[in-house]
Structure 1
């Protein structure tokens, strides 16, 4: 039956132990003194048992004296003795001082014991002392004296102590063990059956049978923990915080508070020892714990025994996550970080698996800065990171390398680690990869590094399409080689971007640095598509093969069999989908979108561009993101979806976008939108800026970006056919004009700038080339041009060709082109005045009054670019922009940029790009 004291429910049956105590009391009544020592783990009911017996002893007429030791009062002399004597007002504790002689102390104890024996003649005296391990030294000496002289008196000494509590006075314990009158009661944790019985005694506890297993598993049979679990469950259940039929203790709840009590009762260093078991996990041994906590092996073994006996620890570690949380919450700040760091040292010296050592270094860093990292830490972390990469655990590899970088003191090795981070991070997050690469670039700029360090940085910058930075590093590499006595090579053109640009072959006048290694053989314009596909068929996607794979795909895109690239993009996209590589997935989706756009499949391009963006953690947080954005913008513009296209144009772009190949693609896409919405000056500005950058970077290739023919279309709309013709003729004179797509688009616009009679053969040749290229949208444009030309010549084939052009436009979902064909007013084939439109004389004169730099700044200002944007585009400071504008205003006698002549927008930008 449950025993109730006030609101306290006694859930455990201690009748057998109480019977032992009553038997000792009976002996005491017969003048046979007894000593009863109650032992048990923290929370196992020692105090509960003594209190229950005290109640029974009082009911039998005994005088009960009660005292309890505490850790806080352990150093208070005679504190426990005074508590005992509070039950005997007629007795006072002896006035003893530390300097008193041993004889004087013994005399005082004898006198007090004699008085107590005198009181016991009229009825037994029961001295109950709880928490013997916390009794102060002076009181303990009196209890020891009492124990030695207890046989002939009617005094019963009942004391409890926590087992495995290391600070307990061994002499006192040994003294008690030698006494023949000693009776020992050892309390054990409850069994599963006893827990089930105890659960039945809790009022308001529903589903007892279903809860028994949880109660036993989480409490470990510890009565204190069991009571806390049951009470917490009954409190939480009405609020639905605990599921029906499940025990779920919460951090800070009754169970957690009971855990704290147990920890405090298990002994000194137990909190740190429990923390050590958290840190070491399955490697926990008394020897390692002793080293980690800084105690002896005996103390470590004793502390672990105390934790196991109290139910807080089992073979797998701490019993429940709430126990772990409670231990961590009560540690001093920085304790876990220091323990993980020390554990890493211990395990490293013991030749434990490097993965385990690395985990401790990571855990240490997670709990605070990894201070005083061992000298071997960075190398070990890098080695483990490479294993993680092989195992496709890229996120873990990134975490390991970040810590390897932070713990490395060698500046050059730190650059190497950042570059490796950039390479690996691309798999999951191109934006993160770009940030790592920027940090590596800044580190190189800030310090002196060798050519061996610059070379991989140059490779990585090239791979990410950061051409401006790549050129700078190429100059640094040449200087480093020159300083080392090796002959530098001509910079020539920038290394072609591998894995990001629509073309990766060298230009005809390009001189690559020899140290860049071999350019992939499949990147040439005239590469055999059979060889390309053979390479793709025998190559598996990996960090080492990603760049040549993309080079091969891009070259295939530019070939006459571009449609084959769609299948290969899907092959490698599926390989990427089979692994945790969202960055690669985004890359191949973007490439598939680009080749579909190249073939005139506008809906497919839109779909895969959106897929590419969806796989990026931040859809505008990287320069790379603007590759699929550019494809999406061009597709939506051609489809006439100007609202969604405008949303793409209106969003902000990264400051560094114009320094990368992705910026070129975006300028082109935005220019197409501006052309479609008749913002001609803005379109020309983007195209001329793209052309200027391509020339500056030494990569002016129409296969990469045909800015001349794009600008020619704008100029035709503006009524400047002669200017358009110059741009088209220049593009036709370039080596890339051998490419069917470049030649076809160039010939179409060449025809648009020619007389009707000369257009026919040009358009027929353009159509032939465009059929080879596979671009159905451009083919539809050329056929529509041909139809209108035939109409002008009175040829009856005009209607048939016009219908085919209309069908092609409809098939491609090119809504804008479809509508213009229906109207019969395709801009490129509309009759044009063959004479150049007269220019504003005032505007022409203006060009002679301004310097070239002033003209460029004024032209961009007239296009509504801000000073900061002009600064970024022209690579000058904001202050320089302001100075140029001040001089322009003075020379033109104006006071604000709104008054700048619009002729500057055309003349200056066009001249700078050609």
Structure 2
């Protein structure tokens, strides 16, 4: 399934890679929030380059190797089939670079982590294949790349400027600006092409659904699918999996019910998005799930012990991903998935922290009762009003109904009056 609303990006990559042999190098920076389609564009570039006979040097940044010297460069230089003599020589240079980098601060871009002569040798290993055929250097998840590798890669891009080569780098935009010095140097590249990605529009989601549904069904559910997913391509695909189990693999076009199904694939996709963001963003998502609609930014900041600025930035990132809108989860199933993934002790701690706010004058009471029951927490509320706020709501919500519409307002107000007057 190739993403719609990315036709210009695919066409540009195809044009660049078809003409690289006759021109100087190009650097393509693909950026966007989690699961916005960055890897799909990078994989397309790799496939096109391999089909055109390029030498492809490929790597992916890994969170666990972010502070491991030369992790990315080692993948680039030793990942493919190479003559034994060349591999042994490169391995020795990598070992020398690792030893030098171990003496430096792994989080400091200001320090030179690798000695100049070692950088030159490693750069030669990346540039020399251009004598025989064009080269593509492709690195995914650049936000996890180690600094020594980035310093070598920056030098290699300088050497490749007049060579038949292309460099495609994909990284996640989010809470923090990662590797700012490398990013600033990238902006000075004369052949830089920026490809910022966002979530899909409602029209693009409808086009995507038409690949698997009849026209009438796709049109009928497109608005709901876009509202639930926020246009996040991964979440849209997950809804297709839940809606038509097995159909994506066999390519069948099937008729479907009147509304999108939210099932296991969607919940797993939600967790996949959240476990790829910064810890503070995940913490805010969990806080939103526990407080469930009563989570003003200052309340979240106090419960999570984060700064108001960090909470605001995290909420902005969750909205950019497509999970949150207006400070609440777009779909209760997404919230339920986050709650189910929350370790019991952490969930209890969040609940008790929220309940403590009930005792503070002037604080709006969060709706936390069903989580209190689940956590076996006992709340010593100090007023009938607080006890009322701790009453569990009816379990009638789904992704097509707003939370407020599930409350029987007339009887609720009568019961509230009786409770507070007694």
Displacement after TM superposition at 1:159 (Å): 0.8
In 2, Cα distance between the equivalents of 1:290 and 1:148?
44
Q: Paired residue for 2:321?
A: 310
Q: How does 1:624-773 map to 2 (within 5 A)?
A: none
Q: How does 1:34-113 map to 2 (within 5 A)?
A: 34-85=26-77, 86-87=79-80, 89=82, 90-91=86-87, 92-93=90-91, 94-95=94-95, 96=97, 97=99, 98-99=101-102, 102=112, 105-113=115-123
The answer as to 2:212 corresponding to 1:202 is yes
Q: Paired residue for 1:365?
A: 372
CA contact 2:34–2:273 (8 Å) conserved in 1: yes
The answer as to 2:252 corresponding to 1:259 is no
Displacement after TM superposition at 1:117 (Å): 1.6
Q: Say what the alpha-carbon RMSD is for the aligned residues.
A: 3.3
Q: How does 1:299-698 map to 2 (within 5 A)?
A: 299-315=310-326, 317-346=328-357, 348-349=359-360, 351-353=362-364, 356=365, 359-360=367-368, 362=369, 365-370=372-377, 378-379=381-382, 381-382=383-384, 384-385=386-387, 396=391
In 2, Cα distance between the equivalents of 1:30 and 1:350?
71
CA contact 1:336–1:367 (8 Å) conserved in 2: no
In 2, Cα distance between the equivalents of 1:103 and 1:365?
51
CA contact 2:288–2:295 (8 Å) conserved in 1: yes
Q: Paired residue for 1:276?
A: 287
Structure-2 change in CA distance of 1:384 and 1:298 (3 Å)? closer
In 1, Cα distance between the equivalents of 2:159 and 2:308?
37
The answer as to 2:299 corresponding to 1:294 is no
Displacement after TM superposition at 1:11 (Å): 4.5
Gaps of 5+ in 2: 105-111, 248-254, 393-413, 417-422
The answer as to 2:9 corresponding to 1:17 is yes
Displacement after TM superposition at 1:16 (Å): 0.6
Structure-2 change in CA distance of 1:111 and 1:100 (3 Å)? farther
**Structure 2 SS opposite 1:10:** coil
Gaps of 5+ in 1: 1-8, 398-578, 582-914
State TM-score, norm by structure 1.
0.37
Displacement after TM superposition at 1:260 (Å): 1.6
The structure number with the bigger radius of gyration is: 1
Q: Paired residue for 2:407?
A: none
Displacement after TM superposition at 1:206 (Å): 8.2
- Listed one character per residue, the Cα deviations across residues 168-202 of structure 1 (whole Å, up to 9, x for unaligned) are 22332233234333211011211111111111112
In 2, Cα distance between the equivalents of 1:62 and 1:262?
33
In 2, Cα distance between the equivalents of 1:323 and 1:188?
20
In 2, Cα distance between the equivalents of 1:108 and 1:291?
49
Q: Which has the higher helix share?
A: 1
Q: Paired residue for 1:116?
A: 126
In 2, Cα distance between the equivalents of 1:366 and 1:236?
38
CA contact 1:266–1:303 (8 Å) conserved in 2: no
Structure-2 change in CA distance of 1:46 and 1:396 (3 Å)? closer
Displacement after TM superposition at 1:45 (Å): 0.9
Tell which has more relative contact order, 1 or 2 (C-alpha 8 A, sep 6+). 2
- Listed one character per residue, the Cα deviations across residues 53-104 of structure 1 (whole Å, up to 9, x for unaligned) are 2111222232222211222333443222222221352443421214468485
CA contact 1:38–1:186 (8 Å) conserved in 2: yes
**Structure 2 SS opposite 1:48:** helix
**Structure 1 SS opposite 2:115:** helix
CA contact 1:337–1:363 (8 Å) conserved in 2: no
Structure-2 change in CA distance of 1:236 and 1:66 (3 Å)? closer
Displacement after TM superposition at 1:148 (Å): 4.4
The answer as to 2:257 corresponding to 1:244 is yes
Displacement after TM superposition at 1:219 (Å): 1.6
CA contact 1:205–1:230 (8 Å) conserved in 2: no
Structure-2 change in CA distance of 1:78 and 1:195 (3 Å)? same
In 2, Cα distance between the equivalents of 1:151 and 1:346?
59
Give the one of 220, 232, 241 matched to 1:231: 241
In 2, Cα distance between the equivalents of 1:183 and 1:225?
28
Corresponding residue pairs, total:
371
